[in-house]
Chain A
Amino acid sequence: DIQLTQSPSFLSASVGDRVTITCRASQDITTYLAWYQQKPGQAPKLLIYAASTLQRGVPPRFSGRGSGTEFTLTISSLQPEDFATYYCQQLNGDPVFGPGTKVVIQ
């Protein structure tokens, strides 16, 4: 089974900061990777799929890169509404989610 790890698991940042979250897969998943944002009490929201394609309606400050086993989600300038938990998900076979990265206000 493919496993995902995310780093860091917890990130403290300020409004305007550039932040990057890394997701690593236990085996090559080419670009079968998506990123989601979840706020407390809400359903997850799709941000990026196919590793780097921005979902319609998602602000361009979000971007994704990577292929194979290493992927990144970058927020170019953190906004107040971006404080949330972010999950990566691999879609090469049975879907698997990463453990999440919580982004909090510094």
Chain B
Amino acid sequence: QVQLVESGGGVVQPGRSLRLSCAASGFTFSSYAMHWVRQAPGKGLEWVSFISYDGSKKYYVDSVKGRFTISRDNPKNTLYLEMSGLRAEDTAVYFCARDGFYHDSGGPFDYWGQGTLVTVSS
């Protein structure tokens, strides 16, 4: 069965960096685009970033452009989100999610991880 497991969250001071990981299993990871979505405490869902199945295309929400970098290691079945210059407003649960279209993008997010909490605080 499809499984996505995030890790790497924690408490970090403003301005510092953190790297999140998402380990995928149960499907051909290299054939699906992936996303990061975040949810601030008590708030709604916010799409953060996208990476195509082969890593050639990457997109970001405006609020993280220049600070966050999405990447993937297909042989290791792992998705990453490198976050730098962290701000208090980046505090959220970060979910990785699979794009439902095979070898394409623009699909619904059909599988999600359980999320990892990032808290930015001094």
Number of A-B contacts (CB under 8 A): 56
Query: Which residue on chain B has the smallest CB distance to residue A92?
Result: B106
Q: Does B14 contact A (CB under 8 A)?
A: no
List the B side residues contacting A87 at CB < 8 Å: 44-45
Question: Is A32 touching B106 in the complex (CB atoms < 8 A)?
Answer: yes
Q: Which interface class (under 10, 10 to 19, 20 to 34, 35 or more) fits B?
A: 20 to 34
Instruction: Mark interface residues in B101-121 (1 if CB within 8 Å of A CB, else 0).
Output: 000001111101111000000
Contacting residues, chain A, for B68 (C-beta < 8 A): none
Q: Which residues of A contact B110 (CB under 8 A)?
A: 46, 49, 55
Q: How large is the interface on A (under 10, 10 to 19, 20 to 34, 35 or more residues)?
A: 20 to 34
How close is A53's CB to chain B, nearest CB, in angstroms? Answer: 9
Give complex CA distance A3, B37 in Å: 17
Given contacts A44-B112, A55-B110, A91-B107, contact A97 B59 (CB under 8 A): no
B45 touches A44 (CB 8 A): yes
- Cα distance, A91 to B106, chains bound together (Å): 6
Asked if B11 is at the interface (CB within 8 A of a chain A CB), the reply is no
Give the interface of A toward B (CB within 8 A): 32, 34, 36, 38, 42-46, 49-50, 55, 87, 89, 91-92, 94-100
